[in-house]
């Protein structure tokens, strides 16, 4: 079997037709959902690209792998999904974005050459690279945000697009009435068509690279196809720029009560620049139709892949997963972007199609189990026929759910966010180690703990599914808060770093030291069988020193 | 300055003259205490050799480095004291025992050759090896406990001692009345003299290797001199075997109340073989005098080193630390060996001599600050003139205490024990991940938490310094228990794995993405200075596709 692990960047859980969006049509996402299971309570381990992806790729919580923010390198030697799959006999390839930053100092300390196979995999989060392009070719007075090379920019230049950065000048910009560049970085331009032929834009380009990859494969493969879209800059080529308009923009999910005595961290986020922008209706009315157009384009390109798999008979032996690294507030809760723990930010789409007969029982159904993004890695290892190294992988295989079983499951989902490099950290005057947030969600109650001496936040999604009313403002819910803190404390004691010895090896080692002569409890030797003490008996031989 | 980091194995905190032992004289330990500071509340991160040492050597808690039991390999790439010291320009050498097991699978995965400099340091916990001998040459039907080579056995053979394992047959055995080997593994032989000339025994041998090392040095050095003694087998050569007798054995620190409805884990330990043995008076009366003799021999050998440092003028530029990896119950609390969290097991001697004038103010004093074994690594880095990497090292430098300052300090000491490979785990029928104990000690109250659904244990050392009365048996101390669990929960959320980015690097990175063109909050660009958007402005150029 093959595994097609498709990730979209910043795709909200509820911006899909099959998830009930009132205006957005996504027939191809819906097509996979009809063949598989749509998990309706799937959460990321961190609502920010880099940290979230490192959890997808390691199957471990952010506090376990340590790469807690964009650009924080994943420590050398951390074992990834690709390592686990290769051990199970399946190659694991990257097509698109990872947001991985190599641990260059760690690699140098261990003498790993970046151009060796081992070094290259260490630098690429374990993947073999078909094509890597992180899709953010932002440029400023201090140069490019991404120090790497951009195969996509190279592609555009090969198509004849002029300039140093056609990603910015064409794929992510329109043209204004004066004939000037209308940058997609500016929300007022979000309703303009990107100045690029649709088939040259990012999503079709990566789809074509994916079809190239599939055509070149022989043995079983796992491909992580990782699109940058619908991530900002919010601008999309024709015809997608005109498919949706202000009339298709849902009202913002926000409430005046949220601005009354807000938690200081939440308050700092509501005051940041992107939040201020998305609090303006004209921003939502410009941006959200573009965001919907980008998703619709992703859906059409997904259709290209699905059609190819069907036409080549590979749909019957290819597992397909559709997910995202986090959501997008889009003005909900008075916020833009992601990073905090309201559902629009931390909850993700998660659709899993398993072609095998064992999964027939659940096709076209939904599952509301509390799923974490770290569950995919063990799911893939089990699907590949490997043994899940549960002393390393902290997630749990989803295959039982696909078979219609109801396994014992986790009591809560955990998510984390380290905002130490952000302006909010500066505004709050916090040391880096105090800039850490934790979410504990048990399926009904959602607690946010903030380091640095702040009170928590608490929402009851049974009575307040829109998460408007922070119940931690008063004392009425101390018991629930204590209970959720208890779940967080249990999680904090997990054995996450005992990665060099498996549980099976520990069981096998029990009692072995006796048979290797470790007997620090004998009075006269009668306590154990003679063979255990044989090496310590016999006639004393003379000492060479003659004493 | 040089650093002489001397560790004794299984040396109790209270078996020193300067610690008030009524019968044991340790003039050379006392001599260092008179020159420096004796820390009277020093605790190990785990009361078992391997895990405790990995915390000393990494400056990190057991749950952070993951090597939680003897023989659990330290994961490849884990940064050690030696790495930190080399970065500060100081070599770091091993002379004796570490109990390090190399992460062979991890090294193979990263292509590290064990015989390369990098590979050898990875395999030896970062140290350069002057001589390594872990000192446990136990032998049984399944062969040697330690798969490595024994330089000490090679030394004995070179002295003419016969047989495959003179460590067992001579250094750790006497001769009985029939002329047979009287193994030191059997407590009834503990009062016999070891069948070896004293200067050939283990402690003098390692001391001579240490003097060889010191004589060969030029630049600044750190030497970890790590003795196996007074660790079992409990037998010592003449004249030390006869220096102490039953009359010098303190009464066992134990109370009938401890056996009434004991915590199930404690109960399992009281029922194990070594506990049963030490519950017999004849065992204590045989073993403890031998244990005292072994310590007295360690003290005389310490004198050789101190005399050499003084004779060569190096006492003025050599920091000296005397400590141990854990204690020894010796029948206290109805137990033998170590592993649990009563003071005889988890509390260690910690004597630090700093030759520099800044430390003159505290010479000959004691300090009751809550010290953890992980504090030594940052102490050494600071003493070597390095910058303490506090995003990796979890301990805190002790130098402020030596200067007579009173820094802000930790609220509690944490210790852990993973007993998953033990017979107690089998007896209690637990999965490996549930076989984990945690100690939280705030200087007065000591809590033991046990995974696996057990109740905690609680002792109040202010009213019960001997730790006889488990206050968690009733409900009277729920508030203290909650408070201590809160401290454990705070510790559980520490950022232990963000080892690739320092706090200083995070502070320096704040706001940098703006100047690299990441501007996902602009409506029209007026929100930021023109230079930040310059790359996104200018006349639109024609598209090559002519649309």
Give the separation between CA B121 and CA B81, rounded to whole angstroms: 12
Does A543 reside within a domain? no
- pLDDT confidence of residue A66: 98
Q: Is A365 helix (H, G, I), strand (E, B) or coil?
A: strand
The answer to whether A351 and A39 are in contact (CB under 8 A) is yes
Q: Which residues of A touch B485 (CB under 8 A)?
A: 489
CATH code of B305's domain: 3.40.720.10
Q: Which residues of A touch B138 (CB under 8 A)?
A: 513, 516-519
Residue B477 pLDDT greater than 80, yes or no: yes
pLDDT per residue over A273-282, tens digit each?
Answer: 999 999 999 9
Number of domains making up chain B: 1
Torsion angle, alpha carbons of A384, A389, A392, A398, to 10: 50
Q: Which residues of A touch B188 (CB under 8 A)?
A: 523-524
- Token pair 């249990």: residue: A490
The answer to whether B63 and A496 are in contact (CB under 8 A) is yes
- pLDDT confidence of residue A342: 98
Q: Which residue of B has its CA nearest to A76?
A: B77
Which residues of chain A fall short of a pLDDT of 70?
Answer: 546-547
Mean pLDDT over residues B264-293, rounded? 98
Instruction: Please state whether beta strands B365-367 and A371-372 pair in parallel, antiparallel, or not at all (unpaired).
Output: unpaired
ipTM score of complex: 0.96
pLDDT per residue over B137-185, tens digit each?
Answer: 999 999 999 999 999 999 999 999 999 999 999 999 999 999 999 999 9
pLDDT per residue over B413-461, tens digit each?
Answer: 999 999 999 999 999 999 999 999 999 999 999 999 999 999 999 999 9
B179: left (phi over 0), alpha (psi -120 to 50) or beta: left
Does B530 reside within a domain? no
Mean pLDDT over residues B5-32, rounded? 98
Q: For residue B526, what are the contacts with CB-CB under 8 A and spacing of at least 6?
A: none
Identify which of A351, A241, A252 has the alpha carbon closest to the alpha carbon of residue A291: A241
Grade residue B545 by pLDDT with cuts at 50, 70 and 90.
confident
Q: Which residue of A has its CA nearest to B490?
A: A489
Of A110, A180, A426, the CB nearest to B77: A110
Q: What is the largest CA-CA distance in chain A?
A: 106
Residue B194 pLDDT greater than 80, yes or no: yes
What pTM, to 2 d.p., does this model score?
Answer: 0.97
Q: Which residues of B touch A114 (CB under 8 A)?
A: none
A-B CB pairs within 8 A amount to 374
Among positive and negative, which fits the CA dihedral B430, B431, B432, B435? negative
| Site from A67, A76, A77, A389 to mutate, B interface, most B CB atoms within 10 angstroms | A77
| Site from B122, B502, B541 to mutate, A interface, most A CB atoms within 10 angstroms | B541
Does A525 reside within a domain? no
Residue B316 pLDDT greater than 90, yes or no: yes
Structure tokens at A394: 């902290």
| Site from A120, A175, A186 to mutate, B interface, most B CB atoms within 10 angstroms | A186
Of A426, A492, A510, the CB nearest to B492: A492
Q: Is A73 helix (H, G, I), strand (E, B) or coil?
A: coil
- pLDDT confidence of residue A511: 85
Q: How many CB atoms lie within 10 A of CB A120?
A: 16
Q: Which residues of B touch A85 (CB under 8 A)?
A: none
Radius of gyration of chain A (CA): 26
Give the separation between CA A218 and CA A236, rounded to whole angstroms: 35
- pLDDT confidence of residue A545: 78
A251 Cα to chain B: minimum distance (Å): 20
A314 Cα to chain B: minimum distance (Å): 32
B38 Cα to chain A: minimum distance (Å): 31
B312 Cα to chain A: minimum distance (Å): 32
B37 Cα to chain A: minimum distance (Å): 31
- pLDDT confidence of residue A237: 98
Does B499 reside within a domain? no
Give the separation between CA A1 and CA B4, rounded to whole angstroms: 59
Residue B547 pLDDT greater than 90, yes or no: no
Bridge partners (DSSP) listed for residue A352: A37, A321
- pLDDT confidence of residue B448: 98
Torsion angle, alpha carbons of A115, A116, A120, A123, to 10: -80
Does A522 reside within a domain? no
Of B106, B272, B515, the CB nearest to A500: B106
Q: Answer yes or no: do A523 and B103 touch at CB < 8 A.
A: no
Q: Residue B399: how many CA atoms within 13 Å on its side-chain side?
A: 17
Q: Answer yes or no: do B186 and A518 touch at CB < 8 A.
A: no
B218 Cα to chain A: minimum distance (Å): 25
Find the domain containing A486 and state its range: 2-492
pLDDT per residue over B43-77, tens digit each?
Answer: 999 999 999 999 999 999 999 999 999 999 999 99
Give the separation between CA A55 and CA A73, rounded to whole angstroms: 13
Does B213 reside within a domain? yes
> If you write DSSP's letter for every residue of A115-159 in order, what string do you get?
TSHHHHHHHTTT-EEEEE--S---EETTEES--S--HHHHHHHHT
Give the separation between CA B235 and CA B189, rounded to whole angstroms: 7
Of A63, A503, A519, the CB nearest to B432: A503
Residue B276 pLDDT greater than 80, yes or no: yes
Strand ranges of the sheet holding B445-450, from the earlier edge strand across to the other edge:
B413-418, B436-441, B445-450, B457-460
Does B514 reside within a domain? no
The answer to whether B45 and B374 are in contact (CB under 8 A) is yes
A410 Cα to chain B: minimum distance (Å): 15
Of A68, A140, A515, the CB nearest to B140: A515
Q: Answer yes or no: do A116 and B112 touch at CB < 8 A.
A: no
A302 Cα to chain B: minimum distance (Å): 25
pLDDT per residue over B207-265, tens digit each?
Answer: 999 999 999 999 899 999 999 999 999 999 999 999 999 999 999 999 999 999 999 99
Does B365 reside within a domain? yes
- Token pair 């991890």: residue: B106
Q: Answer yes or no: do A540 and B182 touch at CB < 8 A.
A: yes
Radius of gyration of chain B (CA): 26
Q: How many CB atoms lie within 10 A of CB A397?
A: 20
- Alpha helix locations (H) across B10-80? 27-35, 49-58, 62-65
Q: Which residues of B touch A449 (CB under 8 A)?
A: 493
Q: Which residues of B touch A109 (CB under 8 A)?
A: 77, 79, 83, 118
Q: Answer yes or no: do A537 and B181 touch at CB < 8 A.
A: yes
Bridge partners (DSSP) listed for residue A323: A7, A350
Q: Answer yes or no: do B185 and A533 touch at CB < 8 A.
A: yes
- pLDDT confidence of residue B219: 87
């Amino acid at each position: 079997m093959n595994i097609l692990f498709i990730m979209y960047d910043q795709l909200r859980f509820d911006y899909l037709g099959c998830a009930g969006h009132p205006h957005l049509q996504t027939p191809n996402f819906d097509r996979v959902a009809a063949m598989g299971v749509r998990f309706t309570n799937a959460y990321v381990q961190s609502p920010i690209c880099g940290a979230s992806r490192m959890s997808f790729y390691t199957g471990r919580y952010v506090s376990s792998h340590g790469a807690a923010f964009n650009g924080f390198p994943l420590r050398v030697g951390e074992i990834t999904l690709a390592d686990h799959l290769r051990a199970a006999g399946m190659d694991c390839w990257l097509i698109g974005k990872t947001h991985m930053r190599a641990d260059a100092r760690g690699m140098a300390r261990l003498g790993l050459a970046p151009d060796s196979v081992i070094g290259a995999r260490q630098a690429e989060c374990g993947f073999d690279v078909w094509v890597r392009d992180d899709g953010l070719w932002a440029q400023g007075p201090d140069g490019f945000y991404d120090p790497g090379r951009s195969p996509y920019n190279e592609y555009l230049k090969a198509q004849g697009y002029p300039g140093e950065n056609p990603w910015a000048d064409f794929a992510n910009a329109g043209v204004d009435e004066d004939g000037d560049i209308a940058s997609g970085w500016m929300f007022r331009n979000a309703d303009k068509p990107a100045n690029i032929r649709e088939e040259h834009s990012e999503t079709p380009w990566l789809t074509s690279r994916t079809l190239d990859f599939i055509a070149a494969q022989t043995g079983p493969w796992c491909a992580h196809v990782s699109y940058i879209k619908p991530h900002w800059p919010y601008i999309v080529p024709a015809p997608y720029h005109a498919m949706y308009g202000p009339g298709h923009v849902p009202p913002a999910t926000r409430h005046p009560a949220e601005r009354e005595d807000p938690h200081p961290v939440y308050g700092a986020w509501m005051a940041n620049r992107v939040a201020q922008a998305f609090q303006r209706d004209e921003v939502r009315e410009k941006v959200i139709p573009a965001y919907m157009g980008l998703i619709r384009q992703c859906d059409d390109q997904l259709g290209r892949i699905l059609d190819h798999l069907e036409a080549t008979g590979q749909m019957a032996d290819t597992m397909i997963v559709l997910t995202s690294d986090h959501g997008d507030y889009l003005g909900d809760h008075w916020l833009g972007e992601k990073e905090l723990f309201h559902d629009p930010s931390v909850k993700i789409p998660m659709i899993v199609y398993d072609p095998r007969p064992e999964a027939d029982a659940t096709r076209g159904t939904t599952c509301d189990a509390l799923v974490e993004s770290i569950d995919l890695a063990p799911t893939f290892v089990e699907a590949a026929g490997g043994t899940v190294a549960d002393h390393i992988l902290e997630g749990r295989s989803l295959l039982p759910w696909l078979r219609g079983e109801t396994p014992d499951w986790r009591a809560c989902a955990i998510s984390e966010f380290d905002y130490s490099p952000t302006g909010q950290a500066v505004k709050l005057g916090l040391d880096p180690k105090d800039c850490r947030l934790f979410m504990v969600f048990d399926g009904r109650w959602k607690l946010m703990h903030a380091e640095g001496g702040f009170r928590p936040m608490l929402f009851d999604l049974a009575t307040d599914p829109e998460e408007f009313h922070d119940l931690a403002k008063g004392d009425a819910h101390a018991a629930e808060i204590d209970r959720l803190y208890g779940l967080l404390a249990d999680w904090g004691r997990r054995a996450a770093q005992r990665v060099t010895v498996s549980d099976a090896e520990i069981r096998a080692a029990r009692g072995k030291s006796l048979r290797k002569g470790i007997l620090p409890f004998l009075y006269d030797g009668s306590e154990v069988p003679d063979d255990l003490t044989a090496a310590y008996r016999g006639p004393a031989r003379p000492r060479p020193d003659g004493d």
